[in-house]
């Protein structure tokens, strides 16, 4: 019959002594040997002042040298560093009111157009400067030129759609034809001409797209003529 006494020891199947450890002083180091790491799991939580560390109870770090806190980890996708050829995919669409933004569902803009910090209104308008103006120069068709029947003036590249032809001729009897061209080679006569007044002055307005314009004379004269376009 076995006998248990105060000197008995607990042993395992290999007859190794089992020792129950109670409180261990901080000055005592206990060496633990264990090849199976799963048997050494520690389920204790990191705590600060008796409370588990979380987003509201964070561990303060005091360090005056920022380089000690550097992190050199790279963002990776499928074990490859993210770069120009290996980008992070984004599958989220811009939405307004739960609907994807497209040509029919646009992002509203509630900002007002301002000038000098003041909203644009009927009394605070946006200034607009027109730089088109008119083109042409004095006597660009004829400059006191002596002409005979069938002569034509200088061809002017007006490249516009509003034209004012004016000048003076010594011939007050014969009509002056207006001709136009798209290539300065093939010319066509406009359906109405210019008729000088008794003093020889004349003026005619055309509102039609023209590339080149010139005058053709039906009688001998001395002519000064100008075309201005816009």
The proportion of the chain whose per-residue pLDDT surpasses 90, expressed as a percent, equals 39
Q: How far is Cα 212 from Cα 230, in angstroms, rounded to an integer? A: 13
Token pair in block for residue 172: 């007050």
Mean pLDDT of the chain: 83
Q: How many residues does the chain have?
A: 230
Write out pLDDT tens, residues 209-225. Answer: 999 999 999 999 999 99
Per-residue confidence (pLDDT) for residue 184, from 0 to 100: 96
> What pLDDT sits at residue 187?
97
pLDDT value at residue 5: 57
CB neighbours (10 Å) of residue 98? 6
Collapsing DSSP states into helix, strand and coil, what is residue 37? helix
17-53 pLDDT per residue, tens: 776 766 667 677 777 677 777 766 666 777 877 788 8
DSSP state, residue 69: G
Say if CB 156 and CB 140 are below 8 A apart: yes
Q: Running DSSP on this structure, what letter comes out for residue 135?
A: B
Residue-range domains of the chain with CATH: 147-219 (2.60.40)
Q: Where are the alpha helices (DSSP H) in 50-189?
A: none
Average pLDDT for 186-194? 94
pLDDT in tens, 142-171: 999 999 999 999 999 999 999 999 999 999
């Amino acid at each position: 019959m076995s006998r248990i006494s105060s000197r008995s020891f607990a042993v395992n199947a290999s007859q190794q002594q089992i020792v129950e450890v109670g409180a261990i002083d901080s000055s005592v180091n206990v060496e633990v040997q264990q090849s199976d790491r799963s048997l050494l799991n520690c389920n204790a939580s990191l705590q600060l002042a008796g409370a588990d560390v979380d987003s509201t109870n964070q561990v303060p770090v005091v360090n005056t040298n920022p380089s000690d806190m550097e992190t050199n980890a790279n963002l990776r996708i499928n074990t490859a560093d993210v770069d120009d050829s290996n980008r992070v995919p984004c599958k989220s669409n811009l939405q307004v009111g739960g609907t994807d933004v497209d040509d029919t569902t646009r992002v509203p803009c509630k900002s007002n157009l301002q000038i000098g910090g003041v909203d644009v209104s009927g009394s605070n308008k946006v200034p607009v400067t027109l730089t088109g103006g008119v083109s042409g120069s004095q006597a660009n068709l004829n400059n006191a030129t002596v002409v005979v029947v069938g002569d034509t003036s200088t061809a002017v590249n007006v490249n516009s759609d509003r034209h004012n032809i004016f000048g003076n001729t010594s011939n007050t009897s014969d009509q002056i034809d207006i001709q136009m061209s798209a290539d300065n080679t093939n010319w066509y006569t406009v359906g109405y001409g210019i008729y000088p007044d008794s003093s020889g002055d004349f003026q005619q307005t055309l509102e039609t797209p023209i590339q080149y314009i010139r005058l053709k004379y039906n009688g001998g004269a001395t002519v000064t003529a100008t075309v201005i376009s816009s």
